[in-house]
């Protein structure tokens, strides 16, 4: 057996190793790209998880549906009471205006008399 007889076989083996390495690098290049995308997705996932936790913590302090409904009922009750008070005050102001009308007329007459005296002087 001569070395020249083995040369084609050695060349074939080297070519097969080179072809295997080329195929492996082509297959793993997509894997590297996928791995980079997965890292970015994990970072975003952690960021979203933190945001969701912050929102959940904030929502715990907000009133629920029943509390909001009770607040609405209380506000409508207060508004009704204020309307009643406003109507009562309007009636009182009207009565006061009627009582003050003669005093206003008397003060106008006094003012007219004083003005007449002042122009005669």
Q: Is the pTM of this model over 0.75?
A: no
Nearest-angstrom CA–CA distance, 46 and 52: 10
Residue-wise pLDDT for 29-45, tens only, equals: 777 778 888 999 999 99
At 1 the pLDDT is: 62
Dihedral, CA of residue 22, residue 28, residue 29 and residue 33, to nearest 10: 180
- Condensed to tens digits (0 to 9), the pLDDT of residues 52-62 reads 999 999 888 88
Contact 58/50 with Cβ under 8 angstroms? no
């Amino acid at each position: 057996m001569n070395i020249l007889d083995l040369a084609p076989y050695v060349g074939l083996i080297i070519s097969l190793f080179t072809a295997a390495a080329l195929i492996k690098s082509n297959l793993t290049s997509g894997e590297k790209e996928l791995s980079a995308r997965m890292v970015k997705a994990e970072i975003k996932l952690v960021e979203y998880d933190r945001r969701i936790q912050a929102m959940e913590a904030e929502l715990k302090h907000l009133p629920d549906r029943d509390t909001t409904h009770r607040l609405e009922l209380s506000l409508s009750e207060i508004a009704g009471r204020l309307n009643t008070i406003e109507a009562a005050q309007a009636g009182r102001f009207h009565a006061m205006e009627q009582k003050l009308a003669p005093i206003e007329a008397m003060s106008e007459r006094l003012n007219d008399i004083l003005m007449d005296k002042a122009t005669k002087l």
